């Protein structure tokens, strides 16, 4: 007997699961696998994003820095191009647009005062903006680069209490007052004694020393010498056999000083009494020529110099009492300085001398740290082997004072504090300090020929 067809069906598996059930279960397993795969992908994406996002952010930062640098150098290049053209009298047209690589720069020029202009350059690379500002001015073409600059006559410390804060350049010797290491005269900076006769002795230099010979010297930096190094302590390296440094000229030429004298004379001459012009009350002077000796005296007497002063005799500044004589630059001069010159060409070795004593104080114009009184003597006694002093500053004189004697000797004594000294020969005694505070910036004067355009101030503008 034939069995029914359904009875002849063989079970799908050993569990007697129907095909329909198997398919249902398989679908559920497939869905679970798909869900697991989706979760895995999501987790993988989270991990990848977590790793790549900081990388992408860092790439963008680096790109931003790169664009910023391009903008800066474009701005700097634009300002330098404008400055070069102005300085060399080339054709200019502002505002000026330049392309530097993938960046652009726009340069403008603004007049800010008499012989003063402002260059503003704006660099742009992919909308990253950087600006550079240059203030430029016409100068007399010289700079004071050293706290003390001495000629062939050299630099001499006469007492252990004297010091110099700034670099020293001498065309002659540099000699301290005591050979004991504990009493060396300090020079905070580098020391150069130029030429084959250059020598440095009894000095403690906080930086390097350059000289033909060095003896009894403490050097915190390196020692460069052509001949000998004896009885010295060097913290840095020694460089025996080094070439002698060249003897260099003074920063202000005689011709420029003659121009200042001419400018002073153009302001007219004062009337002298018995060969002397005396100031004992508050006075404003300059530009002016004084065809005799000049005496400034009193307690609290203030002389305001508004322009160059040329004295054809001697200058005596003798303050009395606690205040003494006050000499200052007129506020109308702004950040400029004023020369006061003693020069008698008919008696170059016995006249043209300057003496400042009695708590004399010197000031620039109000609020201007770069403004100075400059005392200039054209006396030539020291250069010709004589003993007369060109400038003698004693007894508490201090302030914004520059002293300059290109052919003579300057002596500073008894608690004098100055900003810069230049002389054929220089002696410091009794607790004298020279504190160099000019830096490499050009010192501007109210008179004289314009030397050239110079950068007065540079900064990045935001």
Residue 168 lies in a domain: no
- Token readout for 234 is 């060097």
Q: Can you give the pLDDT at residue 18?
A: 60
Task: Out of 84, 105, 139, pick the residue that ends a domain.
Answer: 139
Strand 326-329 and strand 309-311: the pairing is unpaired
Both 300 and 430 in a single domain?
A: yes
Residue 178 lies in a domain: no
Percentage of the chain lying above the pLDDT 70 cut: 87
Q: What is the domain count for the chain?
A: 2
Residue 208 lies in a domain: no
CA distance 405 to 403: 7
Dihedral sign for Cα 416, 421, 424, 427, please: positive
Both 134 and 261 in a single domain?
A: no
Residue-wise pLDDT for 268-327, tens only, equals 999 999 999 999 999 999 999 999 999 999 988 999 999 999 999 999 998 776 678 999
Residue 185 lies in a domain: no
Task: Out of 112, 139, 166, pick the residue that ends a domain.
Answer: 139
Residue 13 lies in a domain: no
Residue 453 lies in a domain: no
CA distances for 162 relative to 31, 96, 384, 423, angstroms: 95, 53, 27, 17
Task: Out of 139, 157, 179, pick the residue that ends a domain.
Answer: 139
Q: How many helices (H) and strands (E) does the chain have?
A: 2, 34
Q: What letter does residue 395 receive in the DSSP assignment? A: S
Residue 5 lies in a domain: no
Instruction: Give the residue numbers spanning the domain of 109.
Output: 25-139
Alpha carbon 88 to its chain's center: 23
Residue 7 has pLDDT above 70, yes or no: no
Residue 115 lies in a domain: yes
Residue 382 has pLDDT above 90, yes or no: yes
Residue-wise pLDDT for 217-261, tens only, equals 999 999 999 999 999 999 999 999 999 999 999 988 999 899 999
Residue 65: Cβ-neighbour burial (10 angstroms; 0-12, 13-18, 19+) = exposed
Least confident span in 9-23, 113-127, 413-427: 9-23
- Residues in the chain, total: 462
Contacts from 6-14 at CB under 8 Å and sequence distance 24+? Answer: none
196 or 47, which is more confident: 196
CA distance 189 to 60: 45
Both 133 and 260 in a single domain?
A: no
Q: Can you give the pLDDT at residue 428?
A: 94
CB atoms inside a 10 Å sphere around CB 52? 11
pTM metric for this prediction: 0.70
């Amino acid at each position: 007997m034939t069995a029914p067809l359904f009875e002849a069906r063989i079970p799908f598996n050993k569990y007697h699961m129907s095909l329909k059930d198997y398919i249902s279960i398989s679908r559920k397993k497939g869905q679970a696998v798909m869900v697991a795969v989706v979760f895995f992908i999501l987790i993988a994406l989270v991990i990848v994003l977590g790793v790549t996002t900081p990388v992408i952010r860092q790439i963008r930062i680096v790109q931003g820095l790169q664009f910023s640098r391009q903008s800066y150098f474009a701005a700097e290049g634009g300002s330098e191009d404008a400055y070069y053209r102005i300085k060399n009298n080339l054709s200019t047209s502002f505002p000026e647009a330049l392309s530097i690589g993938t960046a652009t720069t726009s340069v403008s020029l603004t007049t800010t005062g008499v012989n003063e202009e402002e260059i503003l350059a704006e660099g742009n690379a992919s909308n990253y903006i950087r600006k550079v500002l240059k203030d430029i001015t016409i100068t007399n073409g010289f700079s004071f680069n050293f706290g003390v600059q001495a000629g062939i006559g050299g630099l001499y410390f006469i007492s252990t209490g004297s010091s110099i804060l700034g670099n020293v350049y001498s065309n002659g010797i540099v000699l301290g007052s005591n050979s004991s290491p504990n009493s060396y005269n300090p020079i905070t900076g580098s020391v150069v004694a130029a030429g084959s006769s250059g020598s440095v002795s009894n000095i403690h230099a906080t930086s390097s020393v350059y000289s033909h010979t060095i003896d009894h010297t403490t050097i915190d930096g390196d020692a460069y010498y052509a001949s000998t190094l004896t009885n010295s302590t060097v913290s840095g390296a020694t460089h025996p056999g080094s070439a002698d440094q060249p003897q260099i000229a003074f920063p202000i030429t005689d011709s420029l000083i003659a121009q200042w004298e001419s400018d002073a004379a153009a302001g007219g001459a004062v009337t002298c009494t018995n060969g002397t012009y005396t100031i004992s009350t508050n006075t404003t002077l300059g530009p002016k020529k004084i065809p005799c000796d000049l005496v400034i005296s009193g307690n609290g007497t203030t002389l305001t110099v508004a322009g160059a002063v040329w004295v054809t005799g001697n200058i005596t500044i003798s303050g009395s009492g606690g205040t003494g004589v006050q000499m200052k630059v007129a506020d109308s001069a702004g950040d400029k300085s004023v020369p006061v010159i003693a020069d008698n060409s008919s008696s170059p070795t016995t006249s043209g001398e300057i003496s400042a004593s009695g708590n004399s104080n010197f000031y620039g114009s109000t609020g201007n740290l770069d403004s100075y009184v400059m005392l200039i003597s054209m006396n030539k006694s020291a250069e010709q082997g004589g003993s007369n002093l060109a400038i003698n500053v004693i007894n508490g004189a201090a302030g914004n004072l520059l002293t300059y004697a290109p052919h003579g000797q300057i002596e500073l004594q008894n608690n004098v504090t100055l900003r810069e000294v230049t002389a054929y020969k220089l002696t410091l005694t009794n607790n004298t300090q020279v504190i160099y505070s000019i830096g490499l910036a050009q010192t501007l004067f109210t008179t004289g020929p314009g030397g050239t355009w110079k950068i007065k101030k540079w900064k990045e503008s935001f």
